[in-house]
Amino acid sequence: MKAGTHPEYKEVKVNCACGEIFTTRSTRSDIHLDICSKCHPFFTGKQKIVDAEGRVEKFKKKYAKK
């Protein structure tokens, strides 16, 4: 490999808006996130399906086993 073509990876702190701090490796010096796996609704189990027009119920009704 040629010298100087690849970026230098270093350990950095990742700060989330929820207060979670963890370390990873990156080419950047510091990373700030709005949402992480500790506070994301998909990972916490608090995800809600917003269905204003009844599409989910229509799908379930259409493909329900009879």
Query: At 45, which CATH number?
Result: 4.10.80.400
pLDDT at 66: 63
Instruction: Judge whether 5 lies within some domain.
Output: no
Instruction: Judge whether 34 lies within some domain.
Output: yes
Question: Which residues of the chain, if any, have pLDDT below 70?
Answer: 1, 43, 47-52, 66
Distance CA 37, CA 45 (A): 11
Distance CA 20, CA 31 (A): 12
| Domain with 32 in it | 10-63
Distance CA 3, CA 9 (A): 14
∠11-7-26 over CA atoms, to 5°?
30
In the chain, the number of structural domains is 1
